[in-house]
Chain A
Amino acid sequence: MKQTPLRTIHEEAGARLVPFGGWNMPLQYRPILEEARKVRAEVGLFDLCHMGRFEVQGPDAEAFLQRCLTNDISKIKPGFIRYALLCKEDGGVLDDVLVYHAADQEDRYFVVVNASNTEKDWNWLQEHRSGFDCELRDRTAELAMIALQGRHSAKVLQEISELDLGTLGYYKWAPAKVLGFDAEISRTGYTGEDGFEIYFPVEKAEETWKALVDKGSPFGLWPIGLGARDTLRLEAGMSLYGHELTEDINPLEAGLQWAVRLKTDFIGRDALQKIKEEGPKRKLVGLRIEGKRVPRQGYPVLAGEEMVGEVASGTYSPTLEGNIATAFVPSDLDESREDLSVQIRNSRAKARVSPLPFYKKDYEI
């Protein structure tokens, strides 16, 4: 199992470490619900060194990514970031990724992928690189990645960064000096809050983490584990690979048509074009569920007595103070039905469809 460069710090902080995507990562430092509330109310610090990070550089970097990814890569201006999907020929999703176009080098891109898919993605990209004049580098091991998330993120990060964060818009990134060394900062995240992800040499991981904990303490900062991260992303209606996305789910079913540009020529385009014309068979909906029992992946969704789908992700939401889930149901299911329920082992809990996302932040960045 791979170890994050921050392992010792996490152990000293009393974190519970668990295997995740081939890495030994902090699940929680404190109760998960307290950690989730902390990020909603103030600010949290996340170790994301497990995320896969690839660099693509060369004259054909744009064309290569355009071929492999569903979004229109040519529309990503330098310094901007976009969400995209890596699909198979049949339109099934191999991974969901963020694509960063370098501000300072027109021919350089950075792609952040899920930890559990890093090797699969790498092999897929290598297989499809022939004929494109560009280099593909795996920078996961040499770069650290940490995130600050929450309404006080900018104030905390500004304390150790020379970049004026007021000038960095949502889904933009820029090179920046952090504690005097070279780093790259993006205004992105997976919580539904304002926040930043920071990429820098792995040797500086402990120093940077400690500085952020120190500078963040007046703002209430806590380190936050993957348990709360999952709760926060689900409240914010963001997909998690293995739940809302798999190789057997296409982006149109998963509600991600906004990240699919059928005018570009990418792997899986023809299949997705056909699915679009015929109409996807399933759709992803949000559910709010009564009772105390937590809905979990795979639990059946019923309309009346008929099983119509299954839960993709579920959690207790500390922000909504109730149980929430995402579920795949037939495209023609009437969302106003009042006889929906989720089978939670030996009991049934009443459910109703709720718009995604469940949570939207109430402040501007």
Chain B
Amino acid sequence: MAPADRKYLKSHEWAKKNDDGTISVGITDVAVEHLSDLVFLDLPEVGKQVEKEQPFGEIESVKAVSELLAPVSGEVVQVHEDLADNLDLLSNSPYEDGWMIRIKPSDETEWEGLLSAEDYDKIAHEE
């Protein structure tokens, strides 16, 4: 079950509001399990502008490459630099230690358009 303290894209990214107004972004356990055998992660630099549902990075497994989509538009204010060398964090803790980037949102209304945990679970388990 996806944690209820955050929102989701159907493409398996999660977004969580932090106390300082930034939004942490990662991918769900469903995504990690589906990708399997992770080998490479490409994250943006701090300062990059990202657009809602546009790619902010790439994740690669033995058999596939997937784009990582930004749940909201804004500026990347922090990047989890060590993650690319510790892809096990994604398997072991996709919702906490496996966070990827923090975004300072540019349009607060986008948040409401994201999926709830309940809606995400329905979609994720239909696949």
A contact residues vs B (CB 8 Å cutoff): 27-28, 31-33, 227, 231, 292-294, 296, 315-316, 345
Cβ–Cβ < 8 Å partners of B111 in chain A: none
Closest Cβ–Cβ distance, residue B104 to chain A (whole Å): 25
Cβ–Cβ < 8 Å partners of A294 in chain B: 39-40, 60, 62, 65
Cβ–Cβ < 8 Å partners of A32 in chain B: 36-37, 62-63
Q: Which of A28, A292, A315, A345 has the most CB of B within 10 A?
A: A292
Cβ–Cβ < 8 Å partners of A293 in chain B: 39-40, 60
Are B65 and A292 neighbours in the complex by a CB distance under 8 Å? no
Query: A294 CA to B58 CA in the complex, in Å?
Result: 12
Are B62 and A292 neighbours in the complex by a CB distance under 8 Å? no
Are A227 and B63 neighbours in the complex by a CB distance under 8 Å? yes
By DSSP majority rule, is chain B's interface helix, strand, loop, or mixed? strand
Indicate which residue in B37, B58, B65 contacts A33 across the interface (CB closer than 8 Å): B37
Indicate which residue in B36, B62, B65 contacts A316 across the interface (CB closer than 8 Å): B62
Are A316 and B39 neighbours in the complex by a CB distance under 8 Å? yes
* B58-89 at interface with A (beta carbon < 8 Å): 58, 60, 62-63, 65
Are A33 and B62 neighbours in the complex by a CB distance under 8 Å? yes
Cβ–Cβ < 8 Å partners of B58 in chain A: 345
Cβ–Cβ < 8 Å partners of B37 in chain A: 31-33, 316
Can you list 11 A-B pairs with a CB-CB distance of less than 8 A?
A: A32-B36, A32-B37, A32-B63, A227-B62, A292-B39, A292-B60, A293-B40, A294-B65, A296-B65, A316-B39, A316-B62
Cβ–Cβ < 8 Å partners of A227 in chain B: 62-63
Cβ–Cβ < 8 Å partners of A28 in chain B: 36
* B22-46 at interface with A (beta carbon < 8 Å): 36-37, 39-40
Closest Cβ–Cβ distance, residue B51 to chain A (whole Å): 18
Query: A316 CA to B31 CA in the complex, in Å?
Result: 20
Query: A316 CA to B62 CA in the complex, in Å?
Result: 6
Closest Cβ–Cβ distance, residue A342 to chain B (whole Å): 14
Closest Cβ–Cβ distance, residue B55 to chain A (whole Å): 11
In the complex formed, the residue of B with least CB distance to A28 is B36
In the complex formed, the residue of A with least CB distance to B63 is A227
